[in-house]
Structure 1
């Protein structure tokens, strides 16, 4: 679980880097909030979670870890698609932002609960 989570996190790192490079080249920073969310929730948060899962394998023995992983990695891309449209001035996919962010937050709350209850 730890290694898988870290590998997913570096995919978000690559995506965040490429989006940042695109914004710099185009001199268009409309997608800054998307870039920040990809880097913070995708790269940083998942890396830290992966390190904790790796260092403390007892955290991976629970449904909570799998629920966190899948809700986070399904919710974040859904949220980012919705956010791209929202910050670009089209609210037609705002529901994706709401659904994706809710899934991501629930996944992270499972992670928080898992750490608080099962990390000894």
Structure 2
């Protein structure tokens, strides 16, 4: 189910990993067995280290560390602006950011 939600399909674009995860968690106990969801949650890395992402501020970034608070919102290092030009790298903990989030990712 997770793979189907996070992959591009002919009829829709891929969901962001944390959005797909929310659907799975919302379905726990109804369509999905709680034991299956628990096992899935123990093994998944929503945003694996090294994943390339685009931020809502336009910058391209790479996931460098899961957040200590919530692995759905990792720590990223921004490396390019929206035009693909190198920038002075900076790190951002998305779990602590109210105004910047992940808008797309490369799988």
Same fold (TM over 0.5): no
The structure showing larger relative contact order (alpha-carbon pairs under 8 Å, at least 6 residues apart) is 1
Normalising by structure 1, we get a TM-score of: 0.27
Name whichever structure is richer in strand by fraction. 2
Name whichever structure is richer in helix by fraction. 1
Normalising by structure 2, we get a TM-score of: 0.29
